[in-house]
Amino acid sequence: MKNPGENILTSLFRVKRGVLLPQGGVYGGPSFPIWAGFLLFVMFYVWPLLTLVGTSVNWTELSGSSYAKVFGERVYLSILANTARISSIVAVSCILIGFSYAVFLSRLRGTIRQAAFILGVLPILVNPLAIICAWRIVLERHGILNSALIGSGLASTPLSLCYNLFSVVLVMTYLLFPLVMLPCYGAISRLDQNLVAAAKNLGAGSLQIFLYVELPACLPGVIAGGLLAFVLALGYFVTPALLGGRSETMISMIIADRFNVLLDWQLGAALSVMLLLMVLVSLVTGRIIVRLWERHHTLG
């Protein structure tokens, strides 16, 4: 027998000892959910994506005219660049806020910590339209912030805080920062407390502990969360549509416009495929950067 600890029964069912996820063997429940899942995904996921690609090149004719339009006209290229620019600003501010929120959470204890955690997750689980409505009340010309600024004498005329780059970035950051906060918080709370104690024993102050012990532990979470925020921001539709001005037009708004108003499905589909490719390219690039970084740090 290969493994002395293996008895006849377990070898019969191929349950591997010490492997966290047993392969084969133990019954995994009825099979209908997974087949239902495959069916649902073919119907509502694989078929739509294939149709999207097909529509963008117009199945029957196989013409690339819509792509020629996307690359030929300056409008679409500048909107693609604009989308990438806004998304990267959002990703950086998400990293700043999400990471500080996670550090702040890790210093709290008990019920306050739990309450602060729930407060930090609320933005992704409350209806985004409710949040946009709330921010509009705060930021509009006759909103709370402006009346507070004028009332306190800090400003003489109402500032334009809404319908510009500032409001779009602010609200998108608000909606997406939990995606950075969650992995960072997980990394800090899983951190081996012996390391912190050792650093303290060796004379490190709280700032040094933060810089040399906690920050390196969080970096993978920061990168992964920031990348996720960037990718989701690329496809954001509701926030720039309701809070942006003309110069904050993002690609998803053009897609919706071509589709709803101009009924140019082919161009809408081509733009959707471009968006999908942008997301894939950024995910793959991010993965490569993380790999290189890890290799550098394990060897060096």
Of the candidates 173, 163, 175, 172, the one whose C-alpha atom is nearest the C-alpha of residue 247 is 163
Stretch that binds other proteins, among 49-57, 61-69, 212-220, 288-296 (CB under 8 A): 49-57
Stretch that binds other proteins, among 57-65, 216-224, 255-263, 289-297 (CB under 8 A): 255-263
Which residues in 71-100 contact other proteins (CB under 8 A)? 97, 100
202 binds other proteins (CB under 8 A): no
Q: What are the residues whose beta carbons fall under 8 Å from the beta carbon of 131, sequence distance 6 or more?
A: 123, 171, 174, 175
Of the candidates 88, 46, 73, the one whose C-alpha atom is nearest the C-alpha of residue 270 is 73
d(CA 162, CA 244): 8
63 binds other proteins (CB under 8 A): no
Q: What are the residues whose beta carbons fall under 8 Å from the beta carbon of 15, sequence distance 6 or more?
A: 22, 25, 26
d(CA 233, CA 250): 10
CB 81: neighbour CB atoms within 10 A? 11
d(CA 160, CA 156): 12
Q: Which is nearer to other proteins, 195 or 210 (CB)?
A: 210
d(CA 297, CA 224): 17
67 binds other proteins (CB under 8 A): no
Stretch that binds other proteins, among 61-69, 84-92, 214-222, 235-243 (CB under 8 A): 235-243
Q: How many residues bind other proteins (CB under 8 A)?
A: 96
159 binds other proteins (CB under 8 A): no
3 binds other proteins (CB under 8 A): no
Binds other proteins by CB under 8 A, chosen from 128, 220, 245, 286: 128
Q: Which is nearer to other proteins, 207 or 296 (CB)?
A: 207
Q: Which is nearer to other proteins, 75 or 126 (CB)?
A: 126
Do the beta carbons of residue 45 and residue 243 sit within 8 Å? Answer: no
Which residues in 205-234 contact other proteins (CB under 8 A)? 205-207, 231-232, 234
Binds other proteins by CB under 8 A, chosen from 121, 198, 262, 281: 121
